[in-house]
Structures are given as structure tokens and as C-alpha cells.
Amino acid sequence: MEKVKLLHLVKDISLRYKIQKINSMKKLVYVFIAIGFASSSLLAQDNPKSVRFGIFGRGTPTWYNMPTNNSYSKGGAIFGAGFGLNMEFRVTDVVSFQSGIGGDFDGGKIKYAYTGNSFGYFPSTYTGYILDKTPSFVDISGHSYGDFNAGLATNQNTLHFLISRRIHTTYVTIPLILKMKTKEISGFKYFVDFGGSIGILASAKADDNTNDVNFLGGITAGTYKGLSIYKDCSPVRVGLNIGAGAEYRLAGTTSVFMSLNFVNSFISTVKATSRYNATGVDYSHNSQGTFTYAAQSLKTNGIQINVGFLF
């Protein structure tokens, strides 16, 4: 009898030991699972996504930088805008490469010299052009003033002297920027970026204030809006882009950001020599008169105020 009791006791102790062992293994598994989740969370924070996508919008005051010239001068800034998509490629924990595609609507203002009359309707200093009935600019390259004289006299063409011009351009822009940012501080990451951008011209229009030649009654003031100057502009713009800003993490990898950037074009918006604007007519070698084409250079400067989201 004692042997039977002893046998049952041993079996009971063995069963309890097995149950405790199973429970201990379960607890160990739970601990490992908890550690796994914690490690995954920490790794997710320490190893952000290698590629992030974003959207942005911006306001952009822009103006033209130009060489000292007796024919034209700075007329002031205009407030432009832009929007687009960006992509951010992680290089290291603190460095990334940023690109994308956007649209930028900017421009600037120009003042033109117009002083006195040397003879007839022509002032001593001016920048002028000819419009057809459309109205569109008449290409004066390869022609003399005499070629257009008949058209001017019959009002098929009209002659205009520039007083001021407001240019509106549209570019498809591709940024190429190196971005350096801090570790996260209370949800914020602060960054500086440096690089450039390439812009492809999509549209260029001018709003002009002019003095117009009226062969019946002298000179009258004129205003023309939305004149296309696309053919007189450089098709590509390349420039510097440098700035600083901050992004705030909303949830996971989604952040809202804001930055302030200075942009400076290396290439003039307009071509070096105009095919449409003249600064004089030279009669010394040709009785019909040879146009003196306007030399021009307008390089865009601006401040971009960017706001957007990164995902």
C-alpha cells in the first residue's frame, strides 16, 4: 500500500514539474515575442524608409537680376507660386538625396529707358518692337526698317516703344538637392539643403506698357497683356537652390515640413540678342535702315516658401 502511495506521489510530482516546465516555456515564448515586437519597433525608428514620397506647394517672390544697362533696369518683384511631387532617397541616417518634378510660375518686372526725340517719332533712347494684326511680335531679324515701313503706314503692323514690362513664366522644374538633417528632437527634425534645379520653359508671356506710334496723331499710351515672348526666351533654366527648414513627424513615417530656400538662375530667361526688340535704326550703311537688336540678360532670383508632406 505504501508503495502504491509513493508511486502516485512520484507521478504527481512529475506531472506538476511538467506543467510548470510548460508554463515556464510559454512565459519564455511570450518574453521573446515581446522582445521581438520591441526590437522591430526600435529598428523601425532607427532605420527609416529608404525612399519617401511627398507633395508640396509654395509661394515664390521672384525678381530679375540684370547687368547695368542704359536701355532697361529692375522694375521690382512679383509673387509667384509652385507645386509638385518630390522623392527623398536615404543615403545615411542624416543625409538624403532629393529630387522630383514640379511646376513653377514666376517672373519679374522691367523698366525701359525712353528719353526725348532725336528725329520724327523716334526717341533718342528706346527699346521698341513691331506687332502685326494678331497681335503677335514681328521677327525683325534679317530685315530693315524699310521692309516694314509700308505695313506700318497702312496699319497692318504697329510700332511700340516699351515703358515697362511684367513677365510671367511657367517652368517644369526638376530639383537635384542634397539634404542634411538632425536626429529627431521632440518630433522635429531640422535640415539644410544644397543643390540646384533644372527648369524647362513651358510658357512665357508679357504684359507691356508702351508708347505707340500713331502716324495720324503722333504717340499714344498703350497697354498689352498676355503677349507671347516664348520664342525670345531660353528654353532651359539652370540654377542654385539652397535653404533650411524643419519637418514634424505626425505618425509613423508621415511628416509635415516647411522650408525657406533661395534660388538663383545661372542662365538668362531671355536670349542674349532679341529677334523682336530693337534699340535703334542705323541708316549709315543702308538707306532703308538696319535694326540695332536689343542685347538682354535677365537672371531669376527668388525666395521659395515651401510647405508639404512626406510619406
Nearest to 80 by CA among 168, 143, 209: 168
Say how far apart CA 89 and CA 95 lie, in whole Å: 9
Task: Determine the 3-state secondary structure of 248 from DSSP.
Answer: strand
Measure CA 82 to chain center: 6
128 grid coordinates: 521698341
Say how far apart CA 205 and CA 106 lie, in whole Å: 11
Where are the chain's structural domains?
Answer: 1-47, 48-310
Position 69 scores a pLDDT of 75
Position 157 scores a pLDDT of 86
Position 272 scores a pLDDT of 94
Question: What fold does the segment set 48-310 form as a domain?
Answer: Lipocalin (2.40.128)
Ordered mean pLDDT values, 10 residues apiece, the chain (311 residues): 47 50 47 42 52 97 89 94 97 95 97 74 82 91 74 77 97 97 95 98 98 77 97 97 98 95 97 92 80 92 98 94
Say how far apart CA 125 and CA 7 lie, in whole Å: 123
Q: What DSSP character marks residue 33?
A: H
Position 21 scores a pLDDT of 45
Instruction: Tell me if 61 sits within 8 A of 79, measured CB to CB.
Output: yes
Strand partners, 101: 85
Position 193 scores a pLDDT of 96
Position 31 scores a pLDDT of 41
Position 116 scores a pLDDT of 67
Position 3 scores a pLDDT of 46
